Structure 1
Amino acid sequence: MKLTGLTAVVALCAGAAFAEPIAPGDVQYSEYGAVEASLSGAAGDPENGAAIMVNRGKGNCVACHAVTALSDAPFHGEVGPTLDGVGGYRSAEELRGIVANAKMTFEGSVMPAFYKTSGFIRPGDGYTGKAAKEEDLTPILTAQEVEDVVAFLMTLQDG
Protein backbone atom coordinates (compact mmCIF):
# COMPACT_ATOMS: atom_id res chain seq x y z
CA MET A 1 0.00 0.00 0.00
CA LYS A 2 2.82 2.41 0.85
CA LEU A 3 4.55 1.71 -2.44
CA THR A 4 1.32 2.34 -4.37
CA GLY A 5 0.74 5.65 -2.56
CA LEU A 6 4.34 6.73 -3.17
CA THR A 7 4.05 5.75 -6.83
CA ALA A 8 0.90 7.86 -7.16
CA VAL A 9 2.60 10.88 -5.58
CA VAL A 10 5.63 10.54 -7.87
CA ALA A 11 3.35 10.21 -10.91
CA LEU A 12 1.37 13.31 -9.93
CA CYS A 13 4.53 15.35 -9.35
CA ALA A 14 6.05 14.20 -12.63
CA GLY A 15 2.84 15.10 -14.45
CA ALA A 16 2.86 18.59 -12.92
CA ALA A 17 6.51 19.09 -13.86
CA PHE A 18 5.80 18.29 -17.50
CA ALA A 19 2.40 19.98 -17.78
CA GLU A 20 1.73 21.55 -21.15
CA PRO A 21 1.10 25.30 -21.11
CA ILE A 22 -2.45 26.42 -21.73
CA ALA A 23 -2.64 27.56 -25.36
CA PRO A 24 -3.73 31.19 -25.87
CA GLY A 25 -7.00 30.10 -27.49
CA ASP A 26 -7.79 27.80 -24.56
CA VAL A 27 -7.43 30.35 -21.74
CA GLN A 28 -10.59 30.43 -19.60
CA TYR A 29 -11.51 33.95 -18.40
CA SER A 30 -14.00 34.54 -15.60
CA GLU A 31 -16.91 36.93 -16.03
CA TYR A 32 -14.63 39.80 -14.98
CA GLY A 33 -11.53 38.66 -16.87
CA ALA A 34 -9.60 36.78 -14.19
CA VAL A 35 -7.71 33.61 -15.14
CA GLU A 36 -7.72 31.08 -12.30
CA ALA A 37 -5.26 28.51 -13.69
CA SER A 38 -1.57 29.09 -14.19
CA LEU A 39 -0.90 29.36 -17.92
CA SER A 40 2.35 27.42 -17.68
CA GLY A 41 1.67 25.13 -14.73
CA ALA A 42 4.80 26.49 -13.03
CA ALA A 43 5.40 29.23 -10.51
CA GLY A 44 6.47 32.59 -11.86
CA ASP A 45 9.94 34.08 -11.38
CA PRO A 46 9.59 37.67 -10.13
CA GLU A 47 13.14 38.61 -11.20
CA ASN A 48 12.47 37.53 -14.77
CA GLY A 49 9.10 39.29 -14.59
CA ALA A 50 10.82 42.57 -13.71
CA ALA A 51 13.21 42.09 -16.64
CA ILE A 52 10.29 41.49 -19.02
CA MET A 53 8.51 44.62 -17.78
CA VAL A 54 11.44 46.85 -18.79
CA ASN A 55 12.44 44.94 -21.95
CA ARG A 56 11.49 47.09 -24.93
CA GLY A 57 11.21 43.98 -27.13
CA LYS A 58 8.96 42.02 -24.76
CA GLY A 59 6.54 43.38 -22.18
CA ASN A 60 7.71 46.99 -22.18
CA CYS A 61 5.16 47.65 -19.40
CA VAL A 62 7.01 50.77 -18.25
CA ALA A 63 6.28 52.45 -21.58
CA CYS A 64 2.73 52.99 -20.29
CA HIS A 65 2.92 52.37 -16.52
CA ALA A 66 5.03 53.99 -13.81
CA VAL A 67 6.61 51.47 -11.42
CA THR A 68 8.76 52.88 -8.62
CA ALA A 69 10.44 49.50 -8.05
CA LEU A 70 11.75 49.68 -11.64
CA SER A 71 13.00 53.27 -11.38
CA ASP A 72 16.38 52.31 -12.91
CA ALA A 73 14.58 51.82 -16.24
CA PRO A 74 14.13 55.14 -18.04
CA PHE A 75 11.00 56.71 -19.51
CA HIS A 76 8.07 55.44 -17.46
CA GLY A 77 4.78 56.21 -19.13
CA GLU A 78 1.60 57.82 -17.90
CA VAL A 79 -0.91 56.20 -20.28
CA GLY A 80 -1.85 53.45 -17.84
CA PRO A 81 -2.20 53.61 -14.07
CA THR A 82 0.84 53.38 -11.81
CA LEU A 83 1.46 49.79 -10.79
CA ASP A 84 2.82 50.64 -7.35
CA GLY A 85 0.93 48.52 -4.82
CA VAL A 86 -1.01 46.55 -7.46
CA GLY A 87 -0.17 43.24 -5.76
CA GLY A 88 -1.96 44.50 -2.66
CA TYR A 89 -5.31 45.19 -4.29
CA ARG A 90 -5.40 42.75 -7.25
CA SER A 91 -5.19 38.96 -7.01
CA ALA A 92 -2.76 36.89 -9.07
CA GLU A 93 -5.77 35.58 -11.01
CA GLU A 94 -6.90 39.11 -11.87
CA LEU A 95 -3.39 40.17 -12.87
CA ARG A 96 -2.94 37.03 -15.00
CA GLY A 97 -6.13 37.88 -16.90
CA ILE A 98 -5.12 41.52 -17.38
CA VAL A 99 -1.65 40.63 -18.67
CA ALA A 100 -2.99 37.88 -20.93
CA ASN A 101 -5.75 40.05 -22.43
CA ALA A 102 -6.72 43.28 -20.64
CA LYS A 103 -9.79 43.72 -22.83
CA MET A 104 -11.44 40.83 -20.98
CA THR A 105 -11.34 43.01 -17.82
CA PHE A 106 -11.36 46.53 -19.24
CA GLU A 107 -13.38 46.73 -22.45
CA GLY A 108 -11.86 49.34 -24.75
CA SER A 109 -8.44 49.19 -23.10
CA VAL A 110 -5.50 50.15 -25.31
CA MET A 111 -3.27 47.70 -23.44
CA PRO A 112 -2.02 44.97 -25.77
CA ALA A 113 -3.12 41.38 -25.26
CA PHE A 114 0.19 39.76 -24.36
CA TYR A 115 -1.12 36.16 -24.61
CA LYS A 116 -3.43 36.19 -27.60
CA THR A 117 -2.81 34.85 -31.10
CA SER A 118 -6.00 35.38 -33.10
CA GLY A 119 -8.93 37.71 -33.58
CA PHE A 120 -6.89 40.73 -34.61
CA ILE A 121 -8.01 43.22 -37.24
CA ARG A 122 -5.28 43.43 -39.87
CA PRO A 123 -5.29 46.00 -42.64
CA GLY A 124 -3.00 44.05 -44.96
CA ASP A 125 0.28 45.04 -46.50
CA GLY A 126 -0.02 48.63 -47.67
CA TYR A 127 3.17 48.36 -49.70
CA THR A 128 2.28 45.35 -51.82
CA GLY A 129 -1.51 45.65 -51.91
CA LYS A 130 -1.83 42.05 -50.70
CA ALA A 131 -4.42 41.14 -48.10
CA ALA A 132 -3.27 40.33 -44.59
CA LYS A 133 -2.54 36.70 -43.80
CA GLU A 134 -5.25 35.07 -41.72
CA GLU A 135 -2.91 32.80 -39.76
CA ASP A 136 -2.50 33.07 -36.00
CA LEU A 137 0.24 35.32 -34.66
CA THR A 138 2.82 34.38 -32.05
CA PRO A 139 1.88 35.70 -28.60
CA ILE A 140 3.99 38.60 -27.34
CA LEU A 141 4.77 36.70 -24.14
CA THR A 142 4.99 32.97 -23.51
CA ALA A 143 2.82 31.33 -20.87
CA GLN A 144 5.78 31.27 -18.47
CA GLU A 145 6.62 34.90 -19.15
CA VAL A 146 3.05 35.88 -18.24
CA GLU A 147 3.46 33.93 -14.98
CA ASP A 148 6.80 35.69 -14.35
CA VAL A 149 5.24 39.16 -14.84
CA VAL A 150 2.36 38.22 -12.52
CA ALA A 151 4.86 37.00 -9.90
CA PHE A 152 6.68 40.34 -10.09
CA LEU A 153 3.45 42.35 -9.92
CA MET A 154 2.44 40.41 -6.80
CA THR A 155 5.62 41.71 -5.09
CA LEU A 156 4.34 45.29 -5.50
CA GLN A 157 2.45 45.46 -2.22
CA ASP A 158 3.00 49.04 -1.08
CA GLY A 159 1.64 51.99 -2.99
Structure 2
Amino acid sequence: MGGHMKTTILTLAAALISGAAWAGETAPGDVVYADGAVEASLTGTPGDAANGAMVVGSKKHGNCVACHQVGALADVPFQGEIGPALDGAGSRWSEAELRGLVANAKLTFEGSMMPSFYRIDGYIRPGDAYTGKAAKGALTPLLSAQEIEDVVAFLATLKDE
Protein backbone atom coordinates (compact mmCIF):
# COMPACT_ATOMS: atom_id res chain seq x y z
CA MET A 1 0.00 0.00 0.00
CA GLY A 2 2.84 2.40 0.85
CA GLY A 3 4.50 1.88 -2.56
CA HIS A 4 1.29 2.79 -4.37
CA MET A 5 0.92 5.99 -2.35
CA LYS A 6 4.54 6.96 -3.11
CA THR A 7 3.96 6.45 -6.86
CA THR A 8 0.80 8.57 -6.71
CA ILE A 9 2.63 11.40 -4.96
CA LEU A 10 5.50 11.28 -7.48
CA THR A 11 3.04 11.29 -10.38
CA LEU A 12 1.20 14.25 -8.88
CA ALA A 13 4.48 16.11 -8.31
CA ALA A 14 5.54 15.49 -11.93
CA ALA A 15 2.17 16.76 -13.16
CA LEU A 16 2.46 19.90 -11.06
CA ILE A 17 5.99 20.59 -12.29
CA SER A 18 5.09 20.13 -15.96
CA GLY A 19 1.92 22.19 -15.42
CA ALA A 20 3.99 24.97 -13.90
CA ALA A 21 6.24 25.03 -16.95
CA TRP A 22 3.20 25.26 -19.20
CA ALA A 23 1.67 27.99 -17.04
CA GLY A 24 4.68 30.22 -17.78
CA GLU A 25 3.77 30.29 -21.47
CA THR A 26 2.06 33.41 -22.80
CA ALA A 27 -1.07 32.57 -24.77
CA PRO A 28 -1.37 34.18 -28.23
CA GLY A 29 -4.16 36.49 -27.07
CA ASP A 30 -2.12 37.67 -24.08
CA VAL A 31 1.02 38.79 -25.93
CA VAL A 32 1.85 42.42 -25.20
CA TYR A 33 3.05 44.37 -28.26
CA ALA A 34 4.74 47.79 -28.02
CA ASP A 35 5.13 49.34 -31.48
CA GLY A 36 5.12 45.82 -32.88
CA ALA A 37 7.86 44.57 -30.54
CA VAL A 38 7.37 41.97 -27.79
CA GLU A 39 9.79 42.52 -24.89
CA ALA A 40 8.83 39.51 -22.78
CA SER A 41 9.78 35.96 -23.70
CA LEU A 42 6.69 33.92 -24.60
CA THR A 43 7.96 31.00 -22.52
CA GLY A 44 10.48 32.29 -20.00
CA THR A 45 12.85 29.69 -21.46
CA PRO A 46 15.80 30.76 -23.64
CA GLY A 47 15.35 29.92 -27.31
CA ASP A 48 17.35 27.11 -28.93
CA ALA A 49 19.00 28.63 -32.03
CA ALA A 50 19.68 25.21 -33.59
CA ASN A 51 16.02 24.24 -33.36
CA GLY A 52 15.11 27.72 -34.62
CA ALA A 53 17.23 27.13 -37.73
CA MET A 54 15.33 23.89 -38.31
CA VAL A 55 11.97 25.69 -37.96
CA VAL A 56 13.09 28.45 -40.37
CA GLY A 57 14.32 25.98 -42.97
CA SER A 58 11.72 23.21 -42.72
CA LYS A 59 8.68 23.14 -44.98
CA LYS A 60 6.82 21.27 -42.22
CA HIS A 61 7.43 24.00 -39.63
CA GLY A 62 7.93 27.73 -40.21
CA ASN A 63 9.06 27.40 -43.83
CA CYS A 64 10.48 30.94 -43.65
CA VAL A 65 12.75 30.10 -46.59
CA ALA A 66 9.71 29.98 -48.87
CA CYS A 67 9.82 33.80 -48.82
CA HIS A 68 13.22 34.72 -47.31
CA GLN A 69 16.81 33.98 -48.25
CA VAL A 70 18.98 32.85 -45.35
CA GLY A 71 22.68 32.52 -46.16
CA ALA A 72 23.28 30.45 -43.02
CA LEU A 73 20.91 27.83 -44.47
CA ALA A 74 22.55 27.69 -47.90
CA ASP A 75 21.99 23.92 -48.04
CA VAL A 76 18.19 24.46 -48.06
CA PRO A 77 17.10 24.72 -51.71
CA PHE A 78 14.50 26.97 -53.37
CA GLN A 79 14.75 29.98 -51.09
CA GLY A 80 12.30 32.76 -51.83
CA GLU A 81 12.68 36.45 -52.60
CA ILE A 82 9.26 37.78 -51.54
CA GLY A 83 10.49 38.99 -48.14
CA PRO A 84 13.83 40.59 -47.30
CA ALA A 85 16.92 38.40 -46.89
CA LEU A 86 17.31 37.46 -43.24
CA ASP A 87 21.10 37.75 -43.26
CA GLY A 88 21.96 40.44 -40.71
CA ALA A 89 18.50 40.26 -39.07
CA GLY A 90 20.16 40.09 -35.64
CA SER A 91 21.92 43.38 -36.36
CA ARG A 92 18.87 45.12 -37.88
CA TRP A 93 16.35 44.26 -35.18
CA SER A 94 16.45 43.75 -31.41
CA GLU A 95 15.33 40.48 -29.87
CA ALA A 96 12.01 42.13 -28.89
CA GLU A 97 11.49 43.40 -32.45
CA LEU A 98 12.33 39.98 -33.90
CA ARG A 99 9.86 38.32 -31.52
CA GLY A 100 7.12 40.76 -32.59
CA LEU A 101 7.89 40.25 -36.28
CA VAL A 102 7.72 36.47 -36.05
CA ALA A 103 4.59 36.51 -33.86
CA ASN A 104 2.67 39.07 -35.96
CA ALA A 105 4.59 41.04 -38.60
CA LYS A 106 1.46 42.97 -39.61
CA LEU A 107 1.76 45.09 -36.46
CA THR A 108 5.13 46.38 -37.71
CA PHE A 109 4.67 46.20 -41.47
CA GLU A 110 1.06 46.98 -42.35
CA GLY A 111 -0.08 44.96 -45.35
CA SER A 112 2.75 42.45 -44.98
CA MET A 113 2.11 39.09 -46.64
CA MET A 114 4.07 37.39 -43.86
CA PRO A 115 1.96 34.93 -41.84
CA SER A 116 1.27 35.83 -38.23
CA PHE A 117 2.90 32.81 -36.65
CA TYR A 118 1.52 33.37 -33.14
CA ARG A 119 -1.98 34.69 -33.75
CA ILE A 120 -5.22 32.77 -33.33
CA ASP A 121 -8.06 35.19 -34.06
CA GLY A 122 -9.14 38.02 -36.31
CA TYR A 123 -8.94 35.93 -39.47
CA ILE A 124 -11.48 36.08 -42.30
CA ARG A 125 -12.86 32.61 -42.90
CA PRO A 126 -13.70 32.41 -46.61
CA GLY A 127 -15.02 28.86 -46.25
CA ASP A 128 -18.30 30.24 -44.92
CA ALA A 129 -18.98 31.97 -48.23
CA TYR A 130 -18.72 28.66 -50.12
CA THR A 131 -19.69 25.82 -47.82
CA GLY A 132 -20.74 27.38 -44.51
CA LYS A 133 -18.38 24.88 -42.90
CA ALA A 134 -15.40 27.04 -41.92
CA ALA A 135 -13.85 26.07 -38.60
CA LYS A 136 -15.39 27.79 -35.59
CA GLY A 137 -13.60 29.18 -32.56
CA ALA A 138 -9.98 30.13 -32.13
CA LEU A 139 -7.41 28.55 -34.40
CA THR A 140 -4.15 27.12 -33.13
CA PRO A 141 -1.05 29.26 -33.78
CA LEU A 142 1.17 28.25 -36.71
CA LEU A 143 4.15 27.94 -34.33
CA SER A 144 4.26 27.16 -30.62
CA ALA A 145 5.53 29.72 -28.13
CA GLN A 146 8.81 27.80 -27.78
CA GLU A 147 9.22 27.57 -31.57
CA ILE A 148 8.81 31.36 -31.73
CA GLU A 149 11.54 31.73 -29.07
CA ASP A 150 13.77 29.29 -30.96
CA VAL A 151 13.33 31.19 -34.25
CA VAL A 152 14.09 34.49 -32.47
CA ALA A 153 17.25 32.93 -30.97
CA PHE A 154 18.36 31.78 -34.44
CA LEU A 155 17.59 35.12 -36.12
CA ALA A 156 19.49 36.94 -33.36
CA THR A 157 22.63 35.01 -34.41
CA LEU A 158 22.41 36.38 -37.98
CA LYS A 159 24.68 39.40 -37.50
CA ASP A 160 26.27 41.60 -40.13
CA GLU A 161 29.94 40.75 -40.55
- Which interval holds the TM-score relative to the shorter structure? 0.7 to 0.9
Give the counterpart letter for 1:58 in structure 2. Answer: H
Matches within 5 A, 1:48-87: 48-87=51-90
8 Å contact from structure 1 (residues 99, 113) kept in 2: yes
Q: For residue 158 of structure 1, report the CA deviation from its aligned partner.
A: 1.9
Q: Structure 1 CA distance, aligned partners of 2:62 and 2:42?
A: 16
* TM-score when normalising by structure 1: 0.84
Q: Structure 1 CA distance, aligned partners of 2:46 and 2:54?
A: 16
1:46 matches 2:49 = yes
Q: Per the alignment, in what secondary structure is the counterpart of residue 127 of structure 2?
A: coil
Partner residue in 1 for 2:31: 27
8 Å contact from structure 1 (residues 86, 154) kept in 2: yes
More helix by share: 2
User: Unaligned regions of 5+ residues in structure 1, if any?
Assistant: 1-13
Q: For residue 125 of structure 1, report the CA deviation from its aligned partner.
A: 5.5
1:98 matches 2:98 = no
Which deviates more, 98-107 or 19-28?
Answer: 19-28
* TM-score when normalising by structure 2: 0.83
8 Å contact from structure 1 (residues 123, 131) kept in 2: no
Once the two structures are superposed, residues 39-67 of structure 1 have per-residue CA deviations (whole angstroms, 9 ceiling, x without a partner) of: 01100000000000011121000000001
Q: For residue 89 of structure 1, report the CA deviation from its aligned partner.
A: 1.7
* Percentage of identical aligned residues: 61
